[in-house]
């Protein structure tokens, strides 16, 4: 098989999905060192790949639901059409598609690649299309499922760890803020925001957790959250929750660090030693950065979405609501991270 392949990976959904796809780029580069490896992503998750060493080019489009105030819907659609034409001109050998959503499948086939490989159950037939079985619920991690897209390219086995690289400017900015705060000792990142209600731990427990970890081990903390008011109907934030935590922990070495952009969040996570957070995009970013993690799971499939490739301890109550996870349980899990555990 020629090493001058042109390969496109389409991953246009959430942050965690894209992080779980980064092992694909690593494996492709190892197998085909001279290949042109491209990615098609959306403006929301694109920073995940901003500094990935194995991706030659990232094509980015803006979903209509993500358009900024005043951004023309017609202009976005025109830009998407232009991008489709640019992609078609490349004449890819392979287009890899982690799902078989009909509209996305038609888009991929419209690129006129020699081979389109997709995961799913679609009965659509095309001479260039290879359809592989969808994810095996309860027995397969998302990273493993996506990695199966590489089987027709003779790449098998367990995926390597994910890879996310912080922008040096954003990492330096976070480090400067931490240095200005002062203090010594390991730094723990606590991310307090979560999209799903079942993933939201209370401000009282976050404060109690910090107080106990500091008393036992002298840790410093970076408190991370999505900025904004919880009353904002379009982009609710956690400013009020953060202030409650900071007031309760006013005597502790805590750096408040709201992250307005995804690169800011990646930069802050990159300078920490360990991370405590709920299941979600932040958890997967931390895994991609190689951080040991204590993760709190609500109504999520823990088998499919646990951190990939790093030491972690996962807590999930029988109720599938993080409010039923105690501070003591999190502390015990955190302290167990110091012991050897199984790595994927």
DSSP string, 97-134: ES---HHHHHHHHTTT-SEEEEES------TTEEEE--
Which positions ≥6 away from 259 have C-beta within 8 Å? 224, 225, 226, 227, 265, 268
Report the pLDDT value the prediction gives residue 12, as an integer from 0 to 100.
Answer: 87
Report the pLDDT value the prediction gives residue 229, as an integer from 0 to 100.
Answer: 82
* Each residue's pLDDT expressed in tens, for the chain with a length of 344 residues: 445 899 999 998 899 999 999 999 999 999 999 999 999 999 889 999 999 999 999 999 876 565 666 666 676 666 777 888 889 999 999 999 998 788 889 889 999 999 999 998 877 888 899 999 887 766 799 999 999 999 999 999 999 999 999 999 999 999 999 999 988 889 999 999 998 899 999 999 999 999 999 999 999 999 999 999 877 665 679 999 999 999 999 999 999 999 999 999 999 999 999 999 999 999 999 999 999 999 999 999 999 999 999 999 999 999 999 999 999 999 999 999 865 433 33
Distance of alpha carbon 201 from the chain centroid = 20
Which residues of the chain form CATH 3.40.50.2000? 6-153, 168-336
- In the structure encoding, which two tokens stand for residue 187, read together? 């730094």
Report the pLDDT value the prediction gives residue 123, as an integer from 0 to 100.
Answer: 79
Report the pLDDT value the prediction gives residue 25, as an integer from 0 to 100.
Answer: 98
CATH value of 168-336 in 3.10.20.740, 3.30.70.20, 3.40.50.2000, 1.10.1040.10: 3.40.50.2000
Q: 256 forms bridges with which residues in the sheet?
A: 223
Q: Which residues of the chain form beta strands (DSSP E)?
A: 6-10, 36-42, 57-61, 94-97, 115-119, 129-132, 187-191, 220-225, 254-258, 274-278, 293-297, 312-316
- Sheet arrangement for strand 312-316: 254-258, 220-225, 187-191, 274-278, 293-297, 312-316
Which positions ≥6 away from 15 have C-beta within 8 Å? 44, 45, 48, 262, 281, 284, 285
The CB density around residue 136, as the number of other CB atoms within 10 Å, is 13
- Which CATH architecture best describes the domain 6-153? 3-Layer(aba) Sandwich (3.40)
Report the alpha-carbon distance of residue 132 to residue 296 in Å, rounded.
32
Report the pLDDT value the prediction gives residue 102, as an integer from 0 to 100.
Answer: 84
Report the alpha-carbon distance of residue 66 to residue 46 in Å, rounded.
13
- In the structure encoding, which two tokens stand for residue 164, read together? 């996310």
Report the pLDDT value the prediction gives residue 3, as an integer from 0 to 100.
Answer: 52
Q: Which DSSP string corresponds to 231-275?
A: T-SSS---HHHHHHHHHHTTTS-EEEEE-SSHHHHHHHHHT-SEE
Query: Buried b vs exposed e over 303-334: b needs ≥16 C-beta within 10 Å?
Result: ebbbbbbbbbbbbbbeeebbbebebeebbebb
Q: What is the C-alpha R_g of the chain?
A: 21
Q: Are 142 and 135 in contact (CB under 8 A)?
A: yes
Q: Are 170 and 335 in contact (CB under 8 A)?
A: no
């Amino acid at each position: 098989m020629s090493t001058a392949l042109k390969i496109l990976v389409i991953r246009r959904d959430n942050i965690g999905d894209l992080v779980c796809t980064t092992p694909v780029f690593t494996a492709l580069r190892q197998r085909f060192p001279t290949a042109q490896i491209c990615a098609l992503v959306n403006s929301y998750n694109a920073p995940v790949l901003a500094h990935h060493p194995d991706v030659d080019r990232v094509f980015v489009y803006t979903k209509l639901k993500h358009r900024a105030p005043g951004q023309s819907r017609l202009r976005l659609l025109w830009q998407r059409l232009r991008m489709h034409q640019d992609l078609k001109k490349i004449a890819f050998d392979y287009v890899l598609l982690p799902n078989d959503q009909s509209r996305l499948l038609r888009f991929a086939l419209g690129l006129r690649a020699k081979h389109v490989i997709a995961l799913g159950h679609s009965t659509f037939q095309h001479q260039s299309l290879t359809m592989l079985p969808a994810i095996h619920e309860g027995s397969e991690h998302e990273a493993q499922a996506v990695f199966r897209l590489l089987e027709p390219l003779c790449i098998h086995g367990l995926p390597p760890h994910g890879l996310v690289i912080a922008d040096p400017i954003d990492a330096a900015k976070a480090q400067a803020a931490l240095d200005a705060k002062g203090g010594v000792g390991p730094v723990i990142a606590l991310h307090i925001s979560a999209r799903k209600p079942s993933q939201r731990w209370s401000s009282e427990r976050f404060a109690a957790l910090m107080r106990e970890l500091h008393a036992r081990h002298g840790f410093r903390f970076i408190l991370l959250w999505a900025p904004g008011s919880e009353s904002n109907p379009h982009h609710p934030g956690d400013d009020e929750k953060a202030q409650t935590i900071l007031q309760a922990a006013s005597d502790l070495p805590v750096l408040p660090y709201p992250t307005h952009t995804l690169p800011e969040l990646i930069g802050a996570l990159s300078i920490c030693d360990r991370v405590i957070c709920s299941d979600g995009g932040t958890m997967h970013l931390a895994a991609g950065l190689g951080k040991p993690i204590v993760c709190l799971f609500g109504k999520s499939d823990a088998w499919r979405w646990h951190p990939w490739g790093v030491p972690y301890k996962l807590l999930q109550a029988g109720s599938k609501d993080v409010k039923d996870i105690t501070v003591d349980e999190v502390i015990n899990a955190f302290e167990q991270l110091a012991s050897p555990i199984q790595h994927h």
